[in-house]
């Protein structure tokens, strides 16, 4: 299954589904509650791509005097100007069609601007986040993590910053770390629905289906939660287990069209392949229907 399709909807919401349902069996093999078995410590497909991680979260910030900000010495543009130029250079670096040489030059220029700001103001959140996002976009996972950790050390109560870190971990497929970051964000803003949904998704990616289900049930009706987990399972190529979740969603709410449409899509037979040089097979005629054939009318004889 294409990993890009998974990432497109991972932290945004549910899929737009596709079509009917005639599947009301195969639940006997499922554990109580109808949820898949735990992963037994085995990493999910995407977590294997991202590799293992040891999530680390900040303690209390170190009490250090904030250096005085100077606009004259080494900061001709001022902090705001340096940040604005750095953000523009980052966006320009990843423009489609940019050559590798140009991209690297823009990345280095942006990095140096962020670091220049941090030399003057080590707690500057915009520079810390900008540098972390730059490393993430460049594929440097370790430095991206270090950047977010530094930002959280200086701003430990910033729940949005914690969720940004969770999103970055999801980008790299590091679901255990994403789970921890989402929990940390929720500890700072317990009623945030977006953070709750991120946590539910991350838990499902680590195989903690019961906990993921309980987390989603705080946000949505059971049919929606079952559908959500079914889509995750489908993206893992666990289609049979996805069908079970869709079936359970329909048992709770027989009018839940998204689950019905999903089941119709995955259970309908694929169209017969057409061999080059042949005509597609004609539909089988219904024996109860009289077949007629169009005939070219014969012109009347000329008198």
pLDDT > 60? residue 48? no
* pTM listed for this prediction: 0.64
Q: What is the pLDDT confidence band of residue 176, given thresholds at 50, 70 and 90?
A: very high
Give the C-alpha separation, 100 to 98, whole Å. 7
Q: What is the pLDDT confidence band of residue 173, given thresholds at 50, 70 and 90?
A: very high
Contact 264, 19 (CB under 8 A): yes
Q: Point out the least confidently predicted range of 23-37, 56-70, 189-203.
A: 56-70
- Model pLDDT, residue 77: 73
| 57-62 average pLDDT score | 47
Q: What distances in angstroms separate CA 44 from CA 51, 187, 188, 205, 240, one per listed residue?
A: 10, 25, 28, 6, 17
Q: What distances in angstroms separate CA 24 from CA 151, 234, 250, one per listed residue?
A: 50, 18, 9
| 64-68 average pLDDT score | 41
Q: What is the per-residue DSSP string for 230-287?
A: HHHHHHTT-HHHHHHHHHHHHHH-TT-HHHHHHHHHHHSPPPPPPPTTSPPPPPPPPT
Element (H, E) at 84: helix 78-93
Closest CA to 26 of 170, 241, 284, 206: 241
- The whole-chain average pLDDT of the chain stands at 76
- Model pLDDT, residue 37: 62
Each residue of 223-265: pLDDT tens digit?
A: 999 999 999 999 999 999 999 999 999 999 999 999 999 999 8
DSSP state letter for 110: H
Contact 163, 198 (CB under 8 A): yes
- Model pLDDT, residue 117: 93
> Three-state SS for 19?
strand
Give the C-alpha separation, 34 to 28, whole Å. 9
Each residue of 141-165: pLDDT tens digit?
A: 999 999 999 999 999 999 999 999 9
- Model pLDDT, residue 5: 45
Give the C-alpha separation, 58 to 291, whole Å. 77
- Model pLDDT, residue 177: 94
Higher-pLDDT residue of 261, 43: 261
With vertex at residue 101, the alpha carbon angle to CA 100 and CA 103, rounded to the nearest 5 degrees, is 60
- Model pLDDT, residue 294: 41
| 118-123 average pLDDT score | 92
| 204-231 average pLDDT score | 95
């Amino acid at each position: 299954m294409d990993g890009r399709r998974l990432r497109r909807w991972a932290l945004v919401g549910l899929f737009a589904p596709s079509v009917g349902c005639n599947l009301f069996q195969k639940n006997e093999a499922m554990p109580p509650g109808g949820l898949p078995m735990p992963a037994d410590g085995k990493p999910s497909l995407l977590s294997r791509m991202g590799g293992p991680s040891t999530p680390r979260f900040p303690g209390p910030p170190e009490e250090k005097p904030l250096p005085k900000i100077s606009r004259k010495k080494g900061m001709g543009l001022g902090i705001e100007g340096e940040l604005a130029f750095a953000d523009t250079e980052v966006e320009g670096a990843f423009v489609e069609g940019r050559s590798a040489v140009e991209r690297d030059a823009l990345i280095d220029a942006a990095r140096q601007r962020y670091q220049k700001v941090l030399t003057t103001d080590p707690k500057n959140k915009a520079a810390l986040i900008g540098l972390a996002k730059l490393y993430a976009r460049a594929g440097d996972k370790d430095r991206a993590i270090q950047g977010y950790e530094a930002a959280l050390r200086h701003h430990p109560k910033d729940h949005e910053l914690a969720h940004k870190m969770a999103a970055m971990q999801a980008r790299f497929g590091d679901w255990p770390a994403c789970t921890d970051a989402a929990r940390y964000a929720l500890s700072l803003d317990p009623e945030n629905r977006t953070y709750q949904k991120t946590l539910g998704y991350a838990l499902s990616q680590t195989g903690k289906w019961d906990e993921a289900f309980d987390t989603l049930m705080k946000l949505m009706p059971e049919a929606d939660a079952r559908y959500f987990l079914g889509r995750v399972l489908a993206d893992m190529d666990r289609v049979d287990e996805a069908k079970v979740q869709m079936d359970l969603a329909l048992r709770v709410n027989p009018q839940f069209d998204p689950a019905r449409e999903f089941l119709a899509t995955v259970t309908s037979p694929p169209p017969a392949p057409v061999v080059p040089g042949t005509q597609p097979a004609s539909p089988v005629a219904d024996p109860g229907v009289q077949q007629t054939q169009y005939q070219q009318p014969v012109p009347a004889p000329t008198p």
